[in-house]
């Protein structure tokens, strides 16, 4: 990813942001895209949103060492504009490969766009904090921390929702593909009751305007990224080390 030229975003990035965390994580947290600070440091969620994310994890209690954090697109679009559909499509194989390597039990999406990647007909105002099933895993959508920073009511929802993450992990141990028999549009099954929708929930344009707003494309396309994902082992490298390298562990 750090040397990828699979889409035009490579020409304006400072650093690609593959992700960080444990290669053994059972929880994969997916934001929407790098912001300014992430682009500068090459690490995900290092700004104020990252601080809030750390606080949310600490409440469970967990830390970044217990999860893996990445984004839908790995390079920052200029001026934080939405990435173009072809940019999202070009980057999609990286996220898919990360999921394949990590095989997480729980996928936590942060924000509307990240959620739509897995739940195309979802509404973040209705689905945040729900424990959902998606292709044999648990999907657990949350508001984006950046939205929480801008809206105290959304922050309270985030603080409440994240407390359900341990239960989501417990439910993940009971999920298997054979139990998913009523998928919605072949994507997802909702098992948990709805969370209450508040007026504050409806103020999502703020979230979309935050630094990580990224449109989702559901069209998987072959890209030059595919070729890089099938790169061979480096000299003296083990398969495990290759997996970690592809996850951005080093
Ligand atoms: S495909 Fe992804 S990693 Fe490659 S340049 Fe585009 S955004 Fe960056």
Give the closest residue (by CA) to ligand 1 atom 2. 91
Residue 124: predicted pLDDT? 96
Whose Cα sits closest to atom 1 in ligand 1? 91
Which structure tokens are listed for 221? 């396309």
Q: What is the mean pLDDT of the chain?
A: 79
- Starting at the edge strand found earlier in the chain, the sheet holding 67-71 runs 20-21, 67-71, 27-31, 106-110, 137-142, 132-134, 189-190
Q: Mean pLDDT check: name the lowest of 67-71, 135-139, 143-147, 239-243.
A: 239-243
215 CA distance to ligand 1 centroid (A)? Answer: 14
All residues at 6 or more sequence positions from 30 whose CB lies less than 8 Å from its CB, including other chains: 69, 70, 71, 72, 95, 107, 108, 109, 110, 114, 117
* Domains within the chain, CATH numbers bracketed: 8-246 (3.40.470.10)
Please tell me the distance between residue 73's alpha carbon and the centre of ligand 1 in angstroms: 7
When comparing pLDDT for 88 and 12, which is higher? 12
Tell which atom from ligand 1 comes closest to the C-alpha of 87.
Answer: 6
Residue whose CA lies nearest to ligand 1 atom number 7: 75
Q: Residue 183 Cα, ligand 1 centroid: separation in angstroms?
A: 31
- Residues contacting ligand 1 via CB (< 6 Å): 1, 4, 6-7, 9-10, 16, 73-75, 87, 90-91, 94, 225
pLDDT bucket at 144, cuts 50 / 70 / 90 = very high
Q: How far apart are CA 17 and CA 79, in angstroms?
A: 16
SS3 206: helix
Give the number of C-alpha atoms closer than 13 A to the C-alpha of residue 51, restricted to the C-beta side: 4
pLDDT at 245: 53
More confident call, 85 vs 163: 163
Torsion of CA 200, 127, 35, 208, to 10 degrees: -50
Distance 217 CA to ligand 1 centre (A): 14
- Please state, in angstroms and rounded to a whole number, the distance separating the CA atoms of residues 19 and 26: 15
Whether the Cβ atoms of residue 165 and residue 108 lie closer than 8 Å to each other: yes
Structure tokens at 176: 């298997």
What is the pLDDT confidence band of residue 234, given thresholds at 50, 70 and 90?
A: low
Determine the Cα–Cα distance for residues 71 and 248; give it in Å rounded to an integer: 12
- To the nearest whole percent, how much of the chain has pLDDT over 90? 61
Indicate the range of 16-25, 32-41, 221-230 predicted with least confidence: 221-230
Question: Among all chains, which residue has been given the structure tokens 């469970």?
Answer: 60
Torsion sign over Cα 48, 117, 230, 138: positive
What pLDDT shows up at residue 85?
78
For 61-84, the pLDDT digits (tens) are 999 999 999 999 999 988 887 777
Q: Is the distance from CB of 29 to CB of 68 less than 8 angstroms?
A: yes
Rounded to whole angstroms, the Cα distance separating 212 from 77 reads: 10
Q: Where are the alpha helices (DSSP H) in the chain?
A: 36-41, 48-58, 85-102, 112-118, 124-127, 145-150, 152-162, 165-172, 205-209, 224-229, 239-246
Q: CB under 8 Å to 84, separation ≥6 — which residues?
A: 7, 8
* Per-residue pLDDT at 210: 41
pLDDT at residue 113 in the model: 83
pLDDT over 70, % of the chain: 70
Burial classification of residue 232, based on how many CB atoms lie within 10 Å of its CB (0-12 exposed, 13-18 middle, 19 or more buried): exposed
- Arithmetic mean of pLDDT, 45-67: 96
The predicted pLDDT at position 160 comes to 98
Mean pLDDT across the stretch 88-116? 94
Cβ-count burial 198-209 (b if 16+ within 10 Å, e if not)? eeebeebeebbe
Q: What is the rounded distance in angstroms from the CA atom of residue 211 to the CA atom of residue 145? A: 11
């Amino acid at each position: 990813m750090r040397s990828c030229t699979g889409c035009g975003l490579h020409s304006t990035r400072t650093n690609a942001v593959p992700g960080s965390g444990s290669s053994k994580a059972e929880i994969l947290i997916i934001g929407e895209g790098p912001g300014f600070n992430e682009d500068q440091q090459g690490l995900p969620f290092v700004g104020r949103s990252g601080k809030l994310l750390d606080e949310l994890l600490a409440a469970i209690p967990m830390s970044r060492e217990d999860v893996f954090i990445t984004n839908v697109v790995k390079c920052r679009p200029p001026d934080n504009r939405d990435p173009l559909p072809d940019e999202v499509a070009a980057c999609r194989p990286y996220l898919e490969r990360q999921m394949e390597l990590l095989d997480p039990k729980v996928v936590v999406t942060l924000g509307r766009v990240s959620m739509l990647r897995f739940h195309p007909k979802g509404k973040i105002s209705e689905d945040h904090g729900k424990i959902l099933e998606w292709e044999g895993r648990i999907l657990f959508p949350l508001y984006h921390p950046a939205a929480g920073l801008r809206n105290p009511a959304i922050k309270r929802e985030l603080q409440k929702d994240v407390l359900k993450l341990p239960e989501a992990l417990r439910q993940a141990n009971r999920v298997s593909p054979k139990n998913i028999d009523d998928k919605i549009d072949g994507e997802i099954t909702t098992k948990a009751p709805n969370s209450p929708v508040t007026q504050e929930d409806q103020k999502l344009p703020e979230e979309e305007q935050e630094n990580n707003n990224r449109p989702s494309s559901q069209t998987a396309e072959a890209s030059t990224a595919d070729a890089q994902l099938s790169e061979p082992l480096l000299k003296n490298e083990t398969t495990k080390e290759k997996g970690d390298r592809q996850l951005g562990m080093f």
